[in-house]
Amino acid sequence: MGRATEVRTVEGVLVRALERFLRHPPGRLSCAGRTDAGVHAWGQVVSFDAEPGLDPWRLQSAVNGALAPEVVVRAADVVEPDFDARRSACWRAYRYTVLNRPVTDPFLARTPGGCPPRSTCGRCGSAPTRSWASTTSPPSAVRDRKARRRPGASSSRAGTISATGVLRYDIRATAFCWQMVRSIVGTLVEVGTGKKRPGELMGILRAKNRS
């Protein structure tokens, strides 16, 4: 979700739909994470302060009536006062999709990235990300230390290239630094396309430097 600005964003349209239903601005809106341009959120948790007596089902129905099919609320519930969508999140997961074939797909044109035809992205496998310093920009790393816990145990998995030529990278952790997942996947794709050697990965991680 992007910040509510003059540009149309998921957060902006959601806030306006909530405001119409509540008849006042929602209080302290918090979301589990934000996405960069070109990244699509399949699932997102959002929390906000509301007056007692709110009917979650009516809220869900009203928001979906105003925003579907672009934005939908799959579930809504009343939670404890100390719940915060961002800081109470148990995990976050990213899936990067790479189209690894010479012919594009009109149904996937807006979502996957692309690799040169006949590249060997599938050989990249998983990255043993023991240090996060090489996968995030310095300002983000400093802000992360001050504001919240560092990313915890993570797991990554590279899907196999199917007959459709689609390669999927699934990465999950308690939290991520700014541009961290994009850096990991981008480096693995460079290995698959021959721009880097597989043996260079450990050196990159040990360097603890984004550059």
Query: Taking the C-alpha atoms of 196, 199, 205 and 207 in order, what is their torsion angle to the nearest 10 degrees?
Result: -80
* Helix (H), strand (E) at residue 11: helix 10-22
Backbone torsions φ then ψ of 22, nearest 5 degrees? -80, -20
Query: Taking the C-alpha atoms of 136, 96, 45 and 175 in order, what is their torsion angle to the nearest 10 degrees?
Result: -30
| Residues involved in catalysis | 36
My answer on whether 59 and 104 are in the same domain is no
Match 């050697």 to its residue by tokens: 197
Give me the pLDDT at residue 159, please: 59
My answer on whether 114 and 187 are in the same domain is yes
Structure tokens at 121: 């992205």
pLDDT by residue for the chain (211 residues), tens only, comes to 544 447 888 888 999 999 999 999 888 889 887 766 667 778 889 999 988 889 999 999 999 999 999 899 999 999 998 999 988 988 888 888 888 777 777 777 766 665 554 454 545 444 444 555 667 665 544 444 333 444 444 555 655 555 577 888 888 888 887 778 888 888 888 888 888 888 888 888 788 777 7
Backbone torsions φ then ψ of 135, nearest 5 degrees? -115, 10
Could you tell me the residue range of the domain that residue 96 belongs to? 92-207
My answer on whether 108 and 46 are in the same domain is no
d(CA 58, CA 144): 37
Among 89, 105, 128, identify where a domain stops: 89
Handedness of CA 146, 147, 150, 151 (dihedral sign): negative
The helix/strand/coil state of 72 is coil
Give me the pLDDT at residue 33, please: 79
| Total domains present in the chain | 2
My answer on whether 179 and 150 are in the same domain is yes
My answer on whether 168 and 82 are in the same domain is no
My answer on whether 102 and 121 are in the same domain is yes
For residue 42, give the DSSP letter.
S
Q: At 194, which CATH number?
A: 3.30.70.660
My answer on whether 85 and 41 are in the same domain is yes
Strands (E), 34-159: 46-49, 92-99, 113-114, 155-158
